[in-house]
Copies of this chain bind each other. A is one copy, B any other.
Amino acid sequence: MEQHQRPLGRPRSEDARLAVLRAVDDMLVAEGYAAMTMKGIAERAKVGRQTVYRWWSSKAEILLEASAADAARELTVTPGVDAESDVTAFLTALRDFLTRSDAGLAYRALLGEAQHDDRVAELLRGTDVLGDAARACIAGVRARGALAGVPEAGADLLVAELVGPVLFQTLVTGRAAEPEELSGMARRFLAR
């Protein structure tokens, strides 16, 4: 007996989907988030307007889908010689992500939008890119024996103290941290 794997009707066009994601990526870099419009995305992707609305309900949703994978990849660091170098590597990746990467630009735009649109805030909460990456980093250094005296319970607090300073520098002062600042943060983070 055969299984009905496919639903009835014409299947969703992968071409259209990719064209939209690519268009959003391009437009964000080329024109900025504010200048991006649903209409413009559809036109740039050479896709019907309805097709965009059928699959995504806002430009934030498209942008998240377009950048989430890149973001996660860019924030994954391969273990190095010791815990401190691992944390420093993570903070460096975080700085680069937030200040230089296209995916990071998208993330900042989304985080910004989340501050005055609850739907975007909720959307962003569902895919906690920064938190997940930070937790992975912390788990890594714990596996090396670092942070031995720190209870598992306050994980969220740890994440905040690890990520917060670099985030502040990016969002508020717009300045990229220097390498020695990052290694200092890493050292103090592990010395708690």
Q: Which of A114, A115, A124, A154 has the most CB of B within 10 A?
A: A115
The answer to whether A115 and B171 touch across the interface, beta carbons within 8 angstroms, is: yes
The 8 A CB mask of A161-192 against B (1 = contact, 0 = none) is 10111111101111101000100110010001
- Distance in angstroms between the alpha carbons of A182 and B7 in the assembled complex: 53
Interface size on A, as a range, is 35 or more
The answer to whether A65 has its CB under 8 Å from any CB of chain B is no
Copies in the assembly, this chain:
4
Q: Which of A19-27, A77-85, A125-133 contacts B (4 or more CB under 8 A)?
A: A125-133
The answer to whether A156 has its CB under 8 Å from any CB of chain B is yes
Among candidates B33, B167, B192, residue contacting A168 with C-beta atoms closer than 8 Å: B167
Residue of B nearest to A158 (CB): B165
The answer to whether A17 has its CB under 8 Å from any CB of chain B is no
Among candidates B32, B167, B173, B188, residue contacting A156 with C-beta atoms closer than 8 Å: B173
